[in-house]
């Protein structure tokens, strides 16, 4: 398992991907779709139950989209309006060019770079072209109807409220709050598809200028370092988003059905917040769950027969090609000895200057047949001189996400889930874990992956690629050879992708699990292998969280954990997640206490001298290795583990053994001075912040909502806790906000082939509006370890003590 490394600058750690869309700049563009003014006989009914969860019913898909758009805008109008301003490339016009944009849609360092990037996509025409394409490349008819209705519902809510009447001070009266079009929604979908690819390379794309220009002079560099690139990629993986999902089949469930845990670890703020709803067209569709804000489907959830969730995949959904430029002409390059001109895309961005006057910034964006030229790569600058680098992102051609998710919404069993994923191939960067009422569990990494087989990488990798590809899966290929372009499979939805038959999947009746490692140990009883390296690795150390998912599941199946009986039910899966058990604590806490007790005079060495550890040693000796809000000593242990990533060679006494991947590495090599100093420095850090070494976690890990502190349970990824929270560390106060972590949590049970029975929790609440009663109501539940009852049937909804019904345009 990997401890976190020292963080690199965000611009470098996130710059790893490409933008095929820029290569399409010659395609024609057309005017945006007209704003839809309202529903046409939609018959929409919205029933709200506890915690503001809407149950939306309509007679058709357009009406369903209308209700979704209306309800989502009521809860999150400012977050949504900012999203549409971003994907239009209008941030600099309204907010100025310098501020940093919401990282939920790109890794741009400034509004100006964000706008240049999104206007470059618009200039390419790719979103318009895909939106008008026939399926499977374009949206299916039901998706088009949902989007059309969503736009009308959003605009209806905005028209009723008006920008000046918005309660959320973040956008009340703002000029950038305006009606939207269908094109805005598809731009947003495209941004989500490319966020892990070209979206995280924005600065490197828009700042790439030919050598000899003033803009390029500061970026003149030598050959990129493979070692630096690999370190940056590992740091990126350690610090990135993640998720857990466990699917338990009939042999692992207490009542011979199935149980699913879905636990995404996503941002608590911005464009990648989840929003929960139930969507019903009587006799045609009945699904409940959550999606990212503004995507009018259920992305993770359950229907009458199937439940599913997603986890962020290890597959490299991007790649680089190194091209040789023509001597004396850096904007031409050679392929098979013949010169080709780079494509130049002129982009203009309106910019509000300090005096309030609007000026225009113009930039030329450059691309090759492989994608955009980029001068900043993963962890390293990339040269543009005798050669240049192009980034390819297969998701730049992906507007199929909504097709995939609507297909999952209607799935009948796990076989249907797998068939839907293969048919649409629209999931951009996630695995799928699903269960059904037949008692089957499925893991499938059927997503968008560039067609780079191991043989292709061996034949076409550059010198840099031969060092980077084996350890990261990111292909860096020789662009001077035409036969080194990405390949094709006959069963792939689009050219350049690995087909579904080349991607890993596993069906079981005991369990499958994924916690963001590769597919290898989805179930250790049946390891997956034989898939291309671009998908993931095998035989390497698993993260502490993957180990926790496997050991917690195996112990529950055998009845050797602390819970009664054996096997999973709704209740025992809930208790497994909110037990907040740390795998790393299990592996090294006892050694940490031994080290602590052996310090001379009870003082640990630190950068500032030594630190009295009496209170800390006693707290760790009492600690049960969990991260509940009342846990004493857990914050000291967390700050210690955060430093162990910098220990040369790692802190382990027993190294990783591929023959024992779940229980190695283990043991703390606590006699090493670097390990002892890491512990002392962690204690000194808490002392400086005024935090007692034995202080309860919730006193120093919290969020503030409405002026009140709410303690937050859970721990960062590196601790091996399933209930992940990634906090903001304030050196004067502790963990005072959550960046990302447990977000929309669901446990779904199909007991004895019946069901479903479910419980959910949206940790930050339905609304981003601080004036809403649903801004932090579920955060308080999260703090207390409580859940929301899932109301799925009409009878369950009608029995809600909080039931409110809203009928739009005549009702049903």
Q: Are 435 and 460 in contact (CB under 8 A)?
A: no
The sign of the CA dihedral 796, 798, 799, 802 is positive
Taking each helix axis as running N to C, give the angle between helix 634-644 and helix 614-622, from 0 to 180 degrees, rounded to the nearest 10: 100
CA distances from residue 6 to 236, 472, 503, 644 in whole angstroms, order as listed: 11, 19, 33, 10
CB neighbour burial string for 487-526, b if at least 16 within 10 angstroms, e if fewer: bebeebbeebbbbbebbbbbbbbbbbbbbbbbbbbbbeee
Q: CA neighbours within 13 Å on the CB side: how many for 525?
A: 11
For residue 429, which of 403, 394, 462, 463 has the smallest C-alpha distance? Answer: 394
Residue keyed to tokens 């912040």: 689
Q: What are phi and psi of 675, to 5 degrees?
A: -70, -45
Going by C-beta distance under 8 Å and a sequence separation of 6 or more, which residues neighbour residue 785? 578, 628, 713
The residues pairing with 461 across neighbouring beta strands, listed in sequence order, are 477
Count of CB atoms situated within 10 Å of the CB of 670 = 18
Q: Which of 110, 198, 243, 772 is catalytic?
A: 243
The residues pairing with 248 across neighbouring beta strands, listed in sequence order, are 259, 511
Report the DSSP pairing between strands 53-57 and 274-281: parallel
Q: Based on the number of CB atoms within 10 Å of its own CB, is 32 exposed (0-12), middle (13-18) or buried (19 or more)?
A: middle
Is 214 an annotated catalytic residue?
no
CA distances from residue 461 to 198, 453, 469, 533 in whole angstroms, order as listed: 21, 11, 8, 13
Going by C-beta distance under 8 Å and a sequence separation of 6 or more, which residues neighbour residue 656? 1, 540, 541, 664, 665
What length does the chain have? 812
Q: Are 18 and 392 in contact (CB under 8 A)?
A: yes
The residues pairing with 202 across neighbouring beta strands, listed in sequence order, are none
CA distances from residue 758 to 296, 310, 378, 793, 796 in whole angstroms, order as listed: 22, 17, 41, 12, 12
Residues with a catalytic annotation lie at: 243
């Amino acid at each position: 398992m990997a401890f976190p490394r020292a963080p690199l600058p965000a611009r470098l750690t996130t710059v790893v991907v490409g933008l095929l869309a820029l290569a399409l700049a010659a395609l024609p563009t057309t005017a945006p779709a007209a704003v839809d003014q309202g529903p046409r006989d939609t018959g929409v009914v919205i029933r709200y139950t506890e915690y503001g969860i809407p149950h939306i019913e309509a007679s058709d898909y357009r009406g369903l989209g209308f209700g979704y758009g209306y309800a989502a805008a009521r809860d999150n109008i400012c977050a949504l309006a900012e999203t549409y301003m971003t994907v239009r490339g209008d941030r600099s016009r309204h907010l100025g060019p310098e501020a940093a944009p919401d990282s939920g849609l790109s890794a741009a360092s400034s509004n100006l770079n964000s706008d240049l990037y999104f206007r470059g996509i618009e200039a390419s025409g790719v979103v318009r072209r895909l939106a008008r394409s026939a399926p499977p490349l374009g949206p299916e008819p039901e998706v088009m109807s949902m989007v059309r209705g969503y736009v009308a519902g959003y605009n209806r809510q905005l028209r009723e409220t008006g920008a000046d009447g918005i309660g959320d001070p973040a956008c009340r009266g703002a000029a950038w709050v305006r009606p939207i079009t269908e094109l805005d929604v598809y731009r947003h979908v495209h941004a989500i598809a490319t966020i892990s690819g070209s979206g995280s390379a924005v600065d490197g794309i828009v700042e790439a200028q030919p050598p000899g220009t003033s803009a390029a002079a500061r970026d003149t560099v030598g050959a990129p370092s493979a070692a630096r690139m690999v370190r940056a990629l590992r740091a990126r993986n350690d610090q990135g988003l993640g998720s857990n999902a466990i699917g338990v089949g009939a042999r692992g469930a207490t009542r011979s059905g199935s149980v699913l845990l879905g636990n995404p670890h996503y941002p608590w703020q911005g464009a990648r917040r989840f929003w929960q709803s139930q969507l019903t067209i009587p006799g045609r569709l009945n699904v409940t769950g959550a999606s990212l804000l503004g995507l009018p489907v259920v992305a993770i959830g359950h229907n009458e027969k199937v439940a599913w969730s997603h986890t962020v995949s290890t597959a490299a959904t991007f790649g680089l090609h190194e091209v040789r430029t023509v001597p004396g002409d850096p904007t031409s390059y050679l392929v098979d000895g013949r010169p080709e001109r780079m494509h130049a895309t002129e982009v203009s961005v309106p910019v509000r200057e300090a005096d309030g006057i609007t000026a225009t910034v113009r930039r030329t964006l450059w691309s090759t047949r492989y994608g955009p030229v980029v001068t900043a790569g993963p962890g390293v600058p990339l040269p543009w001189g005798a050669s240049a680098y192009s980034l390819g992102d297969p998701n730049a051609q992906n507007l199929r996400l909504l097709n995939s998710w609507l297909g999952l919404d209607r799935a009948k069993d796990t076989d249907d889930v797998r068939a839907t994923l293969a048919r649409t191939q629209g999931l951009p960067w996630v695995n799928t874990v699903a269960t059904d009422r037949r008692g089957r569990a499925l893991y499938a990494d059927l997503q968008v992956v560039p067609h780079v087989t191991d043989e292709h990488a061996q034949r076409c990798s550059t010198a840099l690629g031969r060092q980077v590809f084996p350890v990261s899966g990111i292909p860096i290929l020789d662009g001077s050879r035409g036969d080194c372009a990405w390949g094709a499979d006959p069963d792939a939805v689009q050219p350049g992708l690995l087909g579904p038959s080349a991607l890993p999947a596993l069906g079981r009746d005991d369990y499958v699990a994924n916690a963001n490692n590769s597919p290898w140990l989805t179930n250790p009883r049946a390891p997956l292998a034989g898939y291309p390296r671009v998908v993931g690795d095998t035989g390497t150390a698993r993260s502490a969280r993957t180990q926790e998912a496997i050991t917690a599941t195996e112990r529950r199946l055998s009845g050797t954990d602390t819970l009664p009986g054996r096997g999973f039910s709704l209740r025992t899966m809930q208790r497994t997640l909110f037990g907040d058990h740390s795998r790393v604590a299990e592996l090294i806490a006892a050694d940490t206490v031994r080290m602590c007790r052996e310090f001379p005079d009870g003082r640990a060495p630190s950068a500032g001298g030594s630190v009295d550890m009496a209170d800390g040693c006693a707290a760790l000796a009492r600690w049960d290795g969990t991260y509940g809000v009342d846990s004493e000593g857990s914050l000291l242990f967390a700050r210690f583990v955060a430093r162990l990533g910098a220990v040369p060679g790692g802190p382990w006494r027993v190294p990783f053994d591929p023959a024992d991947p779940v229980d190695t590495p283990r043991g703390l090599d606590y006699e090493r001075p670097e390990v002892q100093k890491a512990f002392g420095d962690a204690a000194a850090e808490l002392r400086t912040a005024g935090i007692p070494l034995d202080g309860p976690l919730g006193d120093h890990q919290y969020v503030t909502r409405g002026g009140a502190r709410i303690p937050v349970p859970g721990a960062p990824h590196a601790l091996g806790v399933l209930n992940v929270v990634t906090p903001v560390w304030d050196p004067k106060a502790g963990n005072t906000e959550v960046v990302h972590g447990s977000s929309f949590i669901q446990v779904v049970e199909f007991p004895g082939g019946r069901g479903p029975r479910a419980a959910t929790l949206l940790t930050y609440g339905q609304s981003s509006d601080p004036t809403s009663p649903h801004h932090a109501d579920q955060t308080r539940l999260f703090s207390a370890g409580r859940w929301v009852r899932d109301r799925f049937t009409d009878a369950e909804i009608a029995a809600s003590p909080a039931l409110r019904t809203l009928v739009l345009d005549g009702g049903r």
